[in-house]
Structure 1
Amino acid sequence: MHINSLFQHFFLFSFILFFSSSYSQIETIEDSDWIPLFNGKNLDGWTVKINGKPINENIHNTFYVENGMLKVSYDGYEKFDMQFGHIFTNIAYSHYIVRVDYKILGTGMPDAPQWTNLNSGIMLHAQSPQSMRIDQAFPVSLEGQFLAEGATAGTQTGNAVTPGMHIEIDGKLNKEHIINSNSKLFPVDTWVTFEAEVNGHEEIIYRINGEEVIRFTHPQLDDTDNDAKRLIAAGASKHVSYGHIALQAEGQPIWFKNIKIKVLEK
C-alpha cells in the first residue's frame, strides 16, 4: 500500500476511536460498513438540549433507554410548555448515510401546538447544541420529518423541513419551510425505516423503507433567520457542508432503534 494511503487509513481510524467509545469494538473501519451511533444501553455519545434549559438537562427523563431503544416520553410532564427537545450526536458529520427505525405511538401533549401531533423527525447538518440560545426551540438544521397517519402537519412522511436554512430543488432555490416528499403516511405504532444519504453541500437524498422520496442540493443558511444570522456573524459558512445529527422530541412520544451511520468518501 502507498504510504499516503496508509497514513489516511490510520488517521481516520484514530479519529473515530478517539471521539466515540462506541467505536472501540470495531477493529478496523473495513470490518463493517455500518457503525452504531447508539449503544442501546445509555446516552453516551449524545448531548441533550431542551428549549429553555441548559445542555444535558434531560428534564423529566424525556430521552431514555429501554429494551435497547432510545425513547421519547412525556410521562413525567404536567404540561409541555413549548419545551421542544433534541438529542445530538457529539460528532459532526459531512459525507455519510444515516439510518434509523422509528415508531410514533401514543398521544401527544395536549398543550403542544396542533402541528406537533404525530410529528417528530431527525435533524441533519445541525448546529451544535453548545451554539444554541438557551431559549432556542429548534437548531438551525435540515430535518427529515416523521409523520404518522392522523398527523395535522402533512400527508406524507420523509418531508424536508428547513429551520434556518434554504435548499435547492431541481437547481432552483426553494425558500419553503416544508418541502413535501413523495412518500405516504404509515399507521401509528408501525416501525418505519428512514435513511438519509448526505453528500456534504452537494446532494442529500431521503429514503423511506428503502425507496427514495425526495432529493435536494446545496443547503445554505437563511440570512433572514435570526439564529442563522448569529452563526454567520460567528464565522460560519453560508454554504452548509457538515453538522451534527439530532433526534427530536416535540411533544409526541416516539421510539428509535437501529441508529447507524455509514461514512462515505468525499
Structure 2
Amino acid sequence: MSINSVLHKIKNYPLIALSCALSVSCSQQDSTPQQSINDPTQEQWQTLFNGQDLDDWIIKIAGYPLNENALDTFQVEDGKLIVNYDQYDEFEGRNGHIFYKEPFSYFRIKVEYRFVGEQAKDAPGWAWRNNGIMYHAQSPESMAFEQGYPACMEVQLLGGNGTDKRHTSNLVTPGSHSVYQGEFREDHIIESSSKTYHGDIWVEAEVEVHGGDLAVHYVEGEEVIRYSGMQLDDGTPLTQGYIALQAESAPIEFRKVEILNLKGCMDSKATNYKTYYVANDIDSCEY
C-alpha cells in the first residue's frame, strides 16, 4: 500500500466514524416510536378537537334543531374551539352544548380553557363566566327541542371576578345525583376545593371517570373533589354517555380537548394490553 493511500484513509477516518455514529443513532431513533407504541405503560391520548373544524361534534342549542349552529355560537379560530356571542342581541335562554360524536364509560378527559370577553346580554348573573364539561350525558338526538341541559354529570367551570373566592371544577347535577363523602346527595351543586382563577388565564381541568363507580376532578394537576354512585333522578345508574362542552352565555375558549380511554384489553399476553386500563374489554384484545 502506498503512503498516499494510508494518508487518505487516515484523513477520512473521522468522516467514516461520524457516518457510522449517525447511522447507529438514526437506527436507534427509528426503532424508538415502535417501542413506544408497544410499551404497555405508554398512555395513548386521543385528541377530540383537532384545532381545524367541528366535524366530529354535534351541536344542540335550546330552541333550535339538532346541528343548527345558531348565530355562529360555536366557532374554530386560531386552533381553538370557542363559544362566541357577538351575534346575539340578547341571550334569551339559548343554552347550548356541543357533543363529541361517540360515548365513553371509563376515561380521563383533559381540557385547557379560559374565559374571555363579555357575557351575552340579558343572561342571568349566576351564569357569568360559568360553563361546564358534561359527561355521561344523554345523546344530543334524544334532547327535546327547547331542552336547555342534557341529563348528565357536569364539571362546572367558573372564572373569578378579580376579588371574590370562586371555586372551579365543582360538581353540578342536571337531572342526576351522586354519593359524596359516603352520603347520597341531592344538592344541585357541590363545591370543589380548587383555587380561584381570575382574569383571562388558561386553566387545565381533568376528570377521571370509572363508569358509575368513581369520578375525580383535578385542576392544574391537583385533586379538588371526588364522588361516586352517579345516577339519574329516577335512580338509574349513570355508567356511560356523551361528553359535551357547554355554552351558558359566557364566552370561552378551549385550546385542548383530549381523552384517554381507560377501558380496553387487560390480558397482558395481548399486543394492545395497557397497564392503565381499569375496565376490561376482552373483545378488543389483539394477539
TM-score range with shorter-chain normalisation? 0.7 to 0.9
1:262 equivalent in structure 2: 260
For residues 86 and 38 of structure 2, the distance between their equivalents in structure 1, rounded to whole angstroms, comes to 41
Distance in 2 separating the partners of 1:209 and 1:87: 24
Letter in 2 for 1:184: K
Q: Which residue of 1 aligns with 2:87?
A: 76
Q: For residue 159 of structure 1, what is the aligned residue in structure 2?
A: 170
Identity of aligned residues (%): 43
Mapping 1:94-243, distance limit 5 Å: 94-150=105-161, 155-223=166-234, 238-243=236-241
Cα displacement (A) at 1:184: 1.9
Check the 8 A contact 2:89/2:121 in 1, yes or no: no
CA contact (8 A) 1:167 1:219 kept: yes
Separation in 1, partners of 2:248, 2:140:
16
Q: If the length of structure 1 is used for normalisation, what is the TM-score?
A: 0.82
What is the distance in 1 between the residues matched to 2:102 and 2:147? 21
Paired with 2:164 and 2:254, the residues of 1 have a C-alpha distance of 21
8 Å Cα contact 2:162-2:198 kept in structure 1: no
Displacement after TM superposition at 1:155 (Å): 2.0
Instruction: Give distance in 2, aligned partners of 1:44 and 1:119.
Output: 25
**Which position in structure 1 is the counterpart of 2:17?**
none
Alpha-carbon distance change, 57 to 152 in structure 1, aligned in 2, over 3 angstroms? farther
Distance 1:182-1:120 versus aligned 2 partners, 3 A rule: same
Structure 1 Cα separation of the partners of residues 73 and 118 of structure 2: 15
For residue 39 of structure 1, what is the amino acid of its counterpart? N
| 1:154–1:178 distance in 2 versus 1, CA, 3 Å | farther
Structure 1 gaps, min length 5: 1-26, 224-236
Give, as a single letter, the amino acid of the residue that structure 2 aligns with 1:238. Answer: T
The aligned amino acid for 1:90 is K
Please give the alpha-carbon distance, in whole angstroms, between the structure 1 residues aligned to 2:131 and 2:238: 23
Higher-Rg member (1/2): 2
Contact 2:61 2:69 in 1 (8 A): yes
Query: What is the Cα-based RMSD across aligned positions, in Å?
Result: 2.0
- Structure 2 residues without counterparts, runs of 5 or longer: 1-36, 263-276, 280-287
Q: Is the 8 A contact 1:118 1:151 kept in 2?
A: no
Instruction: Give the Å deviation of 1:188.
Output: 2.1
C-alpha distance in 1 between matches for 2:247 and 2:164: 15
CA deviations 1:36-87 (Å, max 9, x no partner) are 0011100011100000111100011100101111000000111111000000
> May I ask how many residue pairs the two structures share in their alignment?
227
What is the CA deviation profile of residues 109-139 of structure 1, one whole-angstrom value per residue up to 9, with x for unaligned ones?
1201111111111101110100011010000
Find the residue that maps to 1:60 and give its secondary structure.
helix
Q: Structure 2 length as normaliser, TM-score? A: 0.76
Within 5 A, what are the aligned runs for 1:2-81?
33-81=44-92
